Amino acid sequence: MRIFQHFPQNRPVISPSLLAADFSCLDKSIAKVADAGAEWLHWDVMDGHFVPNISFGLPVMAALRPATDIFFDTHLMISHPARYAAAFARAGADLITFHIESDDDPAATIDRIHSNGVAAGLSLKPATPASAVLPYLDRIDLLLVMTVEPGFGGQRFMPDQLRKIAELRQAIDASGRAIRLEVDGGIDARTAPLVRAAGADTLVAGTAVFQAPQGLKKAIRDLRS
């Protein structure tokens, strides 16, 4: 398992979402964000069932794995995530995050992901309370708080999620475990300071990075400051 706890505390990990990249040249987009200083790359996998949209999946990840060394942060918005854990690990995922609202047993799914040598994350939709994931803090590597309804990029950040982020920050600190706290949806230079102040240490951003008028480098720098 690639370890991802070694990042400095005062500097957020930036995970640009490939969903907002130009799909006709993903290899170039990945090289550009890696070069611009992003630590991770966020893969939004959608199945048209768990969410009302379809993006990309296993063969695309497998095809791009040899092109880069960047950490593959995989966000599964799919039904039956346990069924696909081994396949995503084989395709090159370094972290597999699935939704607590999906139909598989969370503890068994986390174990399945770990048994494939990959870090495991648990994500919550905006309407799901923090309490839903607390029973799994003893075994997960990351929590992902959705700050939009999953399914589409380019949506507006939901400020009512800040309280949940703060609640989960407290729970993580109390657990004494090195669990990363990631946020996803509508993150840009304006909302990044808000989620950072609430306790997030890992920021997903699609539109704000890939559609940045002044380029990826400045966009990533702006997200950090």
Active site residue 184: yes
The single residue listed with the structure tokens 């942060």 is 73
For residue 86, count other CB atoms closer than 10 A to its CB: 16
Sign, CA torsion 198/204/210/216:
positive
Cα of first residue to Cα of last residue in the chain, in angstroms, is: 30
Q: Which CB, 9 or 161, lies closer to ligand DX5?
A: 161
Residue 151 is a binding residue for ligand DX5 (CB under 6 A): yes
Tell me the residue number closest to ligand DX5, measured at CB: 206
**Least distance between ligand DX5 and beta carbon 216 (Å):** 13
Helices (H), 72-188: 81-91, 106-115, 162-175
DSSP tally for the chain: helices H, then strands E: 8, 8
**Where does this chain touch ligand DX5 (CB under 6 A) — which range of 27-35, 61-69, 158-166, 185-193?**
185-193
- Shortest reach from residue 174's CB to ligand DX5, in Å: 27
- Of residues 176 through 195, those in contact with Zn ion by CB under 5 A are 184
Q: What is the dihedral of CA 180, 15, 76, 9, to 10 degrees?
A: 0
Residue nearest to Zn ion (CB): 75
Q: Which of residues 26-65 bind ligand DX5 (CB under 6 A)?
A: 42, 44
Any residues with CB less than 8 A from the CB of 31 and at least 6 apart, and which? 67, 68
Per the annotation, the verdict on 201 as an active-site residue is: no
Compute how many residues bind ligand DX5; rule: CB under 6 A: 23
For Zn ion, which is the closer residue by CB, 18 or 219? 18
Please, which of residues 68-87 interact with ligand DX5 by CB under 6 A? Answer: 75, 77
Of these residues, 73, 94, 141, 184, which one is catalytic? 184
C-alpha to C-alpha distance for 59 and 161, rounded to whole angstroms: 33
Candidate list 76, 143, 204, 220; residue touching ligand DX5; CB under 6 A: 204
SS3 54: strand
> What residue ranges bind ligand DX5 (CB under 6 A)?
17, 19-20, 42, 44, 75, 77, 148, 150-155, 184-187, 204-208
Residues tagged active-site = 44, 184
